[in-house]
């Protein structure tokens, strides 16, 4: 009886606490809507449970320097959220009532950046602390585009206004390392405990101000395993097209954060669930519905997540090359079916996919170059004769290309024997490598080889058109490379010899044939596509 009484009392206490919390949330919401001042909940060390050892000493140094100069200063945003969850933050942001110019004067290595809203980067060795000035209430006169997105807003204000300007309740808390107190303006502590993502203010208006918030809510939901508040989720599918109006560089930065969050696969699944993936990675939904494509992308993202969790580096070029590979593969096969040779077809397919993505994601030149290298290496892995494997060992992107090959083998796109052969070749010594090359491959042509070129029997060689002479590109399978190509590149010559093309016989006709080869080579040099070397 006593136990039942205690349980009933505790149950009523929890219910009463929940009932009392609801009016508090409603009153905050009204205050936000009316633009009034909000008093924060102040939580001490025992209430919030933050471990000071998880706080960056440099972040503490920044807040202390600002406070000693007479300014307010707090660690803010995602760092506070992670500290409350017991996670060591990767980045630390500081909010203050000092202006960017005043902040810059206090630190030796400080730089003011940003157009839409100025912030200060304070550098301590390799660590960067981002310092922002409290933002004021959004001014109606602030420049906006025709869809309502704020283009520039350098309005400074009070701390409670800054809290209202932040996107989600769990990101609107302020931690003071000196007093070890947390200021909670919008019920963020309660939402963290409930594992709920809730946007501050009216969701539709907040998404219209900055459509990138729709991507952020997806990233946080997948990373933290939180549920999105129904009111915050409802407008996303309808307002998703607004992301097209955001500068491509900002979308790319947000996508990179999403894919390198350590929960990339969960993020992409959440993007599809919310209807946000169409404009970001075109045809990704189609790829994920194909058995081989889904397995390949899932393996690539799982490997990326594992590396992030282990603290290892991740190559954006490798990541995007994996996500877009099946689009390249589809176009590659289409170009070959239309009569193109494998290597030119691969380059054309890569151009098509990268051109389509650059409009949406503003892929940096270095990343696009890495993607091209990884894709272009794939047919070269299928050439396991002569000196071709040794030459591939010298490629600067060998490791990335080999890892990509292993993904293709693991997903079932290629025979696992090819990956095993290259793994042994890379790790082997000279004798072992010679033995591997002498061993006849199970399928030297590879799965993506184009149609074989027929060997001409006898007779004098016919003159080649520029298109024909330009087709000798070092493709995977060429039984009889034109004689004109043999004088252009040693790698192509090796391919011709390995395919069984006889060397010059040394007869009296040899000089005549050499003259013909030089003429044909010169005729097709400009029109010939670049090989994969």
Q: Which residues are catalytic?
A: 91, 93, 167
Q: Which residues pair with 184 in a beta bridge?
A: 41, 173
How far is it, in rounded angstroms, from Cα 76 to Cα 55? 12
* Rounded distance between C-alpha atoms, residue 119 and residue 113, angstroms: 6
- The neighbour count for residue 306, using CB atoms within 10 Å, is 11
Sign of the C-alpha dihedral, residues 92, 98, 102, 105?
negative
In whole angstroms, give the CA distance from residue 173 to residue 401: 44
Q: What angle is formed at CA 47 by the lines to CA 61 and CA 180, rounded to 5 degrees?
A: 15
Contact 109, 103 (CB under 8 A): no
Nearest to 107 by CA among 145, 59, 150: 59
d(CA 326, CA 135): 45
Residue 133 to residues 66, 98, 119, 434, Cα–Cα distance (Å):
12, 6, 7, 65
Residues 6+ apart with CB under 8 A from 42: 181, 182, 183, 184
Token duo for residue 143 = 């420049």
Residue 323 CA neighbour count, 13 Å, CB half: 24
Kindly report the number of other CB atoms within 10 A of residue 299's CB atom. Answer: 17
For residue 245 the two structure tokens come to 């109006």
């Amino acid at each position: 009886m006593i136990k039942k009484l205690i349980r009933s009392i505790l149950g009523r206490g929890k219910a009463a606490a929940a009932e009392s919390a609801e009016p508090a949330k409603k009153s905050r919401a009204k205050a936000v809507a009316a633009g009034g001042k909000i008093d924060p909940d102040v939580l001490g060390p025992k209430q919030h449970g933050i471990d000071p050892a998880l706080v960056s000493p440099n972040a503490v140094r920044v807040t202390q320097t600002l406070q000693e100069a007479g300014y307010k200063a707090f660690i803010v945003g995602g760092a506070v959220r992670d500290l409350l969850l017991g996670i060591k933050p990767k980045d630390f942001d500081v909010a203050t009532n000092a202006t960017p110019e005043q902040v810059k004067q206090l630190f030796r290595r400080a730089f003011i950046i940003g157009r839409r809203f100025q912030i200060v980067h304070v550098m301590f060795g390799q660590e960067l602390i981002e310092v922002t000035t409290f933002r004021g209430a959004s001014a109606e006169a602030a420049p906006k585009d025709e869809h309502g997105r704020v283009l520039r807003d350098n309005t400074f204000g009070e701390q409670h206004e800054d809290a209202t300007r932040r996107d989600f309740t769990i990101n609107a808390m302020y931690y003071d390392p000196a007093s070890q107190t947390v200021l909670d303006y919008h019920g963020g502590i309660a939402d963290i405990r409930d594992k709920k993502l809730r946007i501050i203010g009216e969701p539709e208006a907040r998404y219209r101000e900055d459509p990138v918030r729709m991507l952020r809510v997806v990233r946080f939901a997948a990373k933290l395993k939180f549920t999105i508040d129904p009111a915050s989720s409802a407008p996303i599918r309808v307002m998703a097209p607004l992301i097209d109006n955001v500068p491509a560089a900002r979308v790319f930065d947000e996508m990179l954060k999403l894919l390198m969050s350590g929960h990339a696969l969960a993020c992409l699944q959440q993007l599809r669930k919310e209807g946000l993936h169409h404009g970001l990675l075109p045809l990704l939904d189609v790829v994920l519905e194909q058995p081989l494509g889904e397995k390949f992308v899932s393996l690539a993202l799982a490997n990326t997540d594992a590396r992030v969790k282990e603290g290892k580096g991740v190559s954006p070029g490798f990541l995007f090359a994996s996500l877009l590979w099946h689009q390249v593969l589809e176009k590659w096969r289409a170009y070959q079916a239309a009569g193109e040779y494998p290597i030119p077809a691969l380059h054309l397919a890569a151009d098509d996919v990268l051109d389509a993505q650059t409009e949406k994601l503003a892929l940096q030149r270095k990343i696009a170059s890495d993607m091209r290298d990884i894709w272009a290496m794939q047919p070269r892995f299928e050439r396991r004769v002569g000196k071709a494997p040794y030459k591939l060992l010298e490629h600067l992107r060998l490791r990335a290309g080999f890892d990509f090959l292993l993904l293709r083998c693991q997903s079932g796109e290629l025979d696992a024997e090819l990956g095993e052969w290259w793994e042994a070749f890379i790790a082997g010594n000279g004798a072992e490598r010679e033995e591997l090359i002498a061993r006849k491959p199970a399928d030297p042509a590879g799965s993506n080889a184009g149609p074989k070129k027929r060997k001409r029997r006898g007779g004098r060689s016919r003159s080649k058109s520029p298109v024909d002479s330009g087709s000798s590109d070092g493709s995977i399978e060429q039984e009889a490379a034109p004689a004109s190509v043999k004088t252009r590149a040693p790698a192509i010559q090796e391919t011709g010899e390995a395919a069984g093309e006889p060397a010059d016989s040394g007869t009296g006709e040899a000089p005549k044939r050499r003259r013909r080869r030089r003429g044909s080579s010169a005729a097709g040099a400009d029109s010939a596509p670049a090989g994969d070397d």
